């Protein structure tokens, strides 16, 4: 039998039994929608988790500090204080396998002033030789500090917003335009300034850099300064303090407070973090935070995929039932085909083709319907997913896609639908080949 004849006969048989074919196809459609939509929800949630964590920083970065702590089994906070951070520690961490960079920093706070308005931001102090290891976003204005020009302070895109007037009754706020507004800064007047009536030392911002918005909290809301420029200004600030407070103030910046370690690959963060922990220092990373979230998302994706697989299994049973019923109704037709010289394998191919076509048609309609269902979920599913994920403080349903269908998913779903159809039709097709031509001719029909 020619392939063209096999296709014509197969399609004609499917068309001849429209109601049964339609119902069977609908089973495949439902199974395909279940698999695609369920898996797409798992993918969407995993991507949302990843995006929201990445807004807080990079997944390949580890923050190392000499102080910190943990909560024990009894709920008590146990503080940890390691040896001071110095250049020897920086060298040791850089020698750990998979570490790309280790940038030593001093973290402190500065106050920004513009007229009656002020703001308090966190300042990252580091050697300008390590600027390249910070992977800063592009600049919208100014430049970054360099070994040749250290007197530059870098501002995150949002660090110049929300300046407030402490003397205003209604708490008026202002957004600073650094190219027009005069801006000065001073060290935290509440940290060491014992004489509240004495105005803290402030410095005019003359050279600056402003970073573009990156949706990375670390870069968007903080400031950055070269360590030599910082120590020069800090020494001036310390001289304005009382003699009894100067030693305490200098001790606070005598050593590094943090190290920013960058790992070559997200998969190696956990191993590097474990080695640094073994040195006795406190570490934290977004990769460690995201690990249980991804584990939960993967488990949820498996559960949802299993639900879709059950639907497809039901459709497979439906196809097998339809094809077996078709054999009983077409017993005489099968006998005639054998008498006319059709080979056994041609009869088998015919039934496999019909079963495969049911799977293909159902798969195509199911995939098209899945895109519509995915759109509806993203459009109207916010309240439902917000309620389901209310226990996860990291999950923010706003601007999140709950269902994402990557290109490979509909292709896999279509292939699976066809495969289910063929596998389901294999037993009925084999049974059809075993029907005796003589006995089939005696059948009424």
Q: Which of 52, 56, 166, 192 is nearest to 114 (CA)?
A: 166
Same domain, 76 and 29: no
- 372, part of any domain: yes
Within 10 Å of residue 370's Cβ, how many Cβ atoms? 25
Same domain, 67 and 172: yes
Same domain, 319 and 201: no
Q: Which of 125-129, 204-208, 248-252, 403-407 has the lowest mean pLDDT?
A: 248-252
Same domain, 357 and 430: yes
Mean pLDDT of the chain: 80
- 189, part of any domain: yes
| Among 215, 248, 264, residue at a domain's last position | 264
Q: How far apart are the first and last CA of the chain?
A: 24
Within 10 Å of residue 133's Cβ, how many Cβ atoms? 16
- 279, part of any domain: no
Residue 224 has pLDDT above 90, yes or no: yes
- Residue predicted with more confidence, 152 or 390: 152
Same domain, 223 and 129: yes
Q: Which of 146-160, 279-293, 423-437 has the lowest mean pLDDT?
A: 423-437
Same domain, 127 and 98: yes
Same domain, 126 and 16: no
Q: Are 123 and 108 in contact (CB under 8 A)?
A: yes
Same domain, 125 and 14: no
Q: Are 290 and 59 in contact (CB under 8 A)?
A: yes
Same domain, 43 and 192: no
pTM over 0.75: no
Split at pLDDT 50, 70, 90, the class of 391 is very low
- 373, part of any domain: yes
Residue 41 has pLDDT above 90, yes or no: no
Q: Are 305 and 41 in contact (CB under 8 A)?
A: no
Residue 400 has pLDDT above 70, yes or no: no
The vertex-318 CA angle with 317 and 324, nearest 5°, equals 90
- 271, part of any domain: no
Q: What percent of the chain has pLDDT over 70?
A: 82
Question: What range defines the domain where residue 90 resides?
Answer: 61-264
Same domain, 247 and 308: no
| Among 264, 279, 305, residue at a domain's last position | 264
- Residue predicted with more confidence, 50 or 364: 364
């Amino acid at each position: 039998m020619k392939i063209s004849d096999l296709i014509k006969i197969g399609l004609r048989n499917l068309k001849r039994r429209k109601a049964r074919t339609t119902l069977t196809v609908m089973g495949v459609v439902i199974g395909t929608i279940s698999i695609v939509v369920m898996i797409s929800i798992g993918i969407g949630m995993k991507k949302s988790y990843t995006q929201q964590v990445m807004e807080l920083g990079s997944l390949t970065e580890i923050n190392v500090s000499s102080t910190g702590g943990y909560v024990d089994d009894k709920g008590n906070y146990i503080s940890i204080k390691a040896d001071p951070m110095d250049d020897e520690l920086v060298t040791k961490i850089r020698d750990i396998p998979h570490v790309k960079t280790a940038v030593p920093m001093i973290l402190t706070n500065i106050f920004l002033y513009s007229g009656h308005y002020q703001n308090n931001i966190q300042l990252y102090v580091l050697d300008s030789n390590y600027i390249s290891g910070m992977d800063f976003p592009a600049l919208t204005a100014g430049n970054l500090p360099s070994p040749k020009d250290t007197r530059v302070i870098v501002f995150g895109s949002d660090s110049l917003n929300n300046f407030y007037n402490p003397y205003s009754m209604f708490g008026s706020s202002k957004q600073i335009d650094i190219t027009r507004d005069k801006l000065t800064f001073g060290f935290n007047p509440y940290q060491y300034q014992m004489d509240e009536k004495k105005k803290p030392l402030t410095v005019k911002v003359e050279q600056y850099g402003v970073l573009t918005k990156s949706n990375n909290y670390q870069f968007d809301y903080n400031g950055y300064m070269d360590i030599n420029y910082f120590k020069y200004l800090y020494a001036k600030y310390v001289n304005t303090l009382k003699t009894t407070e100067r030693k305490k103030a200098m001790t606070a910046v005598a050593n590094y407070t943090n190290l920013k370690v960058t790992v070559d690959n997200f998969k190696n963060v956990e191993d590097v973090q474990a080695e640094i922990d073994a040195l006795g220092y406190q570490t934290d990373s977004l990769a460690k935070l995201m690990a249980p979230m991804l584990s939960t998302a993967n488990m949820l994706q498996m559960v949802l995929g299993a639900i879709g697989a059950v639907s497809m299994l039901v459709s497979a049973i439906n196809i097998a039932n339809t094809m077996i019923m078709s054999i009983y109704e077409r017993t005489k037709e099968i006998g005639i085909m054998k008498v006319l010289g059709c080979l056994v394998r041609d009869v088998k191919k015919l039934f496999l083709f019909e079963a495969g076509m049911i799977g293909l048609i159902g798969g195509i309609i199911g995939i098209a319907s899945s895109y519509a269902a995915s759109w509806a979920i993203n459009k109207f599913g916010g309240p439902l997913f917000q309620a389901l994920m209310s226990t996860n403080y990291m999950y923010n349903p706003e601007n999140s896609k709950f269902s994402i269908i990557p290109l490979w998913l509909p292709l896999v779903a279509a292939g699976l639908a066809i495969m289910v159809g063929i596998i389901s039709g294999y037993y009925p097709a084999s049974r059809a080949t075993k029907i005796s031509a003589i006995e089939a001719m005696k059948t009424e029909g």
